[in-house]
Amino acid sequence: MTSFNSFHIVFYLTAFFLSLTTFIFTLIQRRTDRLQNVLYFCLLGIVIINSTTEIINDLMFEYSAFTDIALFGYKLCQFLYFLFHTAMAPVFLIYEMSVTGALRKRTTKELNLIMTPFVITEFLVIINPWTHWVYYYDSEQVFHRGWGEYFIYMVAALYIIIAMFSLMVRWNAINRKKRFTLLYFFGVTVGGILIQAIFKNLKTELFAEALGIMGVMLSIESEDDRLEQMTGVYNRVALQQDLKNYDMTETKYTIISLRIKNIDSMTKKTGSLDDDNFNLKLTDFLKTLVQRYYIYDVNRGQYVIAVPTTDSTKDNLLNTTFRRFEPSLSCDTIRDRIVERFKEPWEIERTSLSLEAAVMVVKCPSEAADRNEVFDLLNNPIPRNITQDVFEGDDLKYIRRRSEVEKAIMRGVKNKSFEVYYQPSYNLQTLKMHGAEALVRLNDKKLGFIPPDEFIKVAEQIGLVGDIDDFVLHDVCTLIKDGILEIGEMDCINVNLSIVQFENEDFPQHLCNIVDEYGIDHSKICFEITETVESEDYRKLNEAIVFLKDKGFTFSMDDFGTGYSNVSSSLMLDFDQVKIDKSVLWEAEKSTLGMVVFENTIRMIRQTNRSIVVEGVETENQLNVLKKMNVDYLQGYYFSKPVPKQRFVTLVEISRQE
């Protein structure tokens, strides 16, 4: 064996072992199911076959002049090299188009057009033993290039140029790592070809291709940063990247979101839903509906299936040539099967769990313009007061509205654009102003007026209700410091607090610190709380109330009689005052039974030594009814609606003159 042959074999062996190692590593990772995975294996296979044939060629070259078998083996390996290596550039083009998403936009006709030069080059190689157009051997068995080989190189260059152009067009459709990995492959491969073309005894082409393909494996095919290792499905980061790709390539897609509504309560009961066993069982079920690479585990108890959709009436490449890589079930069928499965219990570690699922179906871009709107929908909680299992079409309006309200709240907190209104309350006996309730309002520049019942709930969910409560308390303290209570001879101003605030142990002291900034007597502020059925830790809440009452503040229970505030909590918690909801008063006007309930409610509260405020007084007839009742204070539109601060100051001054 000549020294040149030995030198060449080093390059070929290096290419062979690099490609073989990459091939084995990719198999071990078990990521061989996607179209791009299959194309990647084709690239690896080409390099492995080519490096093998070149190694055999160099080993047999010395003996080809002496035996016909060696000569036949030498020429066969040369033929196989050209046959497979000619496919390298077009296969890489299809691989690049698969990675960037360009393949989804191509039709079968376009693919046939793209592949025509490749078919011609393959045909030239196949008929070369008879035509010698690509290469030939002279009488002394010396290898010579024909015009066909130069044509093959030109076709390969054309495919590389097309691949580069395709990458540039969709440059922003893939992440930075993928972009520069594909550029690395281009650079290394072209560099190896040029070196071999200039220095014919440096067989760097296969080595460069193997090196580039290994780089592709490390950066593109190895998706550890995108995968949930336990289940093999994709994570939230992967969903963001893939939806960005769909948006950039103008691909239509459908999102099917599955959310376990009762995951927190089931976890408290069983402790099972935090285990990997549940994720495995659920993702295994989803894998029976779609391929693994369409499933995303985006949040605790929330899973997403993101399926690119194509028009089945059009000649789309993925609908025909590569159909097996697309979902076999329609999105409607997937949705229905999920709903049906959750009607049955789940067996987790010998525990039977009844799980409640909410399925949301979003068609993009018709129902969500881009990935940002999709994530707005995915991040919003499912409304508690709606029992339906599926949200789609017009059902998405609530969730979309909730997202818009969330953004409005963020704008309000950032720009301090909330406004505090004041609604006076009056002493029943004297009909003089007793105090007022501070009520926050939000008039957003985009959405307009947003009802407090709507935005307060959202603010609690996103953790911004504390900022709103602080804003209101500061406004109230400013008003009290300016002497409004003395002007109107009023006792206090009521400030609503969200009960979720009391989960923070430092919250009571935080309230004290704000009020103390203004040097205000604590008794001038009454904190109002709606004790909801969602409240569970009465002990913690009552400790906070006792602490603040020791500091001089008073407390009022709001909305009594609505079903949210109840008898047991009114007795358990140390409230000074109870506000009877307007619905109780209005029902008392309508029926004898309503009046009986109203009278007994007043009697019961009075027996607990709390003062009583009745809300919703809107007519003189209601006022006359209440004059016969043993209540203390009144509030309602009969006296005044909630008004802006300056209007409230005017009302106080008028009240004093009267």
At 1 the pLDDT is 46
Please, are residues 582 and 634 in contact by the beta-carbon 8 Å criterion? no
For the residues 342-363, what does the mean pLDDT come to?
A: 84
The three-state (H, E, C) secondary structure of 435-486, written as one string: EEEEEEEEEECCCEEECHHHHHHHHHHHCCHHHHHHHHHHHHHHHHHCCHHH
Task: Give tens-digit pLDDT for 356-410.
Answer: 888 999 999 988 888 988 988 888 777 665 667 888 888 788 778 888 898 899 9
Better-predicted residue by pLDDT, 657 or 490: 490
Tell me, what DSSP letter sits at residue 383?
Answer: P
pTM for this entry: 0.73
Q: Helix, strand or coil for residue 655?
A: helix
Q: Which residues contact 376 (CB under 8 A, 6 or more apart)?
A: 368, 400, 403
Strand segments (E) across 135-182:
135-137, 143-145
> Does the structure show a pLDDT above 70 at 268?
no
Residue 68 amino acid letter: D
Scanning the structure block, which residue is given the tokens 């040097």? 519
Please, are residues 89 and 155 in contact by the beta-carbon 8 Å criterion? yes
CA distance 531 to 372: 36
Task: Give tens-digit pLDDT for 284-319.
Answer: 999 999 999 999 999 888 999 999 886 554 556 665
Q: Where do runs of H (alpha helix) occur along 520-636?
A: 538-550, 567-572, 582-590, 592-607, 620-627
Residue 476's Cβ-count burial label (10 Å; 0-12, 13-18, 19+) is: buried
Structure tokens at 3: 């020294």
Give the residue from 615, 602, 523 showing the smallest Cα distance to 570.
602
- Residue 137's pLDDT band (cuts 50, 70, 90): confident
- DSSP state string for 316-358: BHHHHTTGGGS-SS-HHHHHHHHHHHTTS-EEETTEEE---EE
For the residues 16-42, what does the mean pLDDT come to?
A: 85
Structure tokens at 630: 């043993």
- Residue 612's pLDDT band (cuts 50, 70, 90): very high
Mean pLDDT of the chain: 84
At 325 the pLDDT is 77
Structure tokens at 83: 């046959």
Write the CA distances from 273 to 236, 264, 287, 418, integer angstroms: 19, 9, 19, 40
For the residues 114-132, what does the mean pLDDT come to?
A: 94
Task: Give tens-digit pLDDT for 183-194.
Answer: 888 888 888 778
CA distance 277 to 267: 13
Give kind and range of the element (H or E) at residue 573.
none
Q: Determine the length of the chain.
A: 658
CA distance 643 to 53: 88
CA distance 120 to 152: 9
Residue 73 amino acid letter: G
- Residue 78's pLDDT band (cuts 50, 70, 90): confident
Q: What are phi and psi of 315, to 5 degrees?
A: -80, 75
CA distance 646 to 658: 19
For residue 167, the number of C-alpha atoms closer than 13 Å in the C-beta half-sphere is 23
Please, are residues 261 and 353 in contact by the beta-carbon 8 Å criterion? no
CA distance 22 to 630: 86
Strands 253-260 and 295-299: unpaired
At 55 the pLDDT is 84
CA distance 357 to 335: 11
At 271 the pLDDT is 59
CA-based angle 372:373:375, to the nearest 5? 65
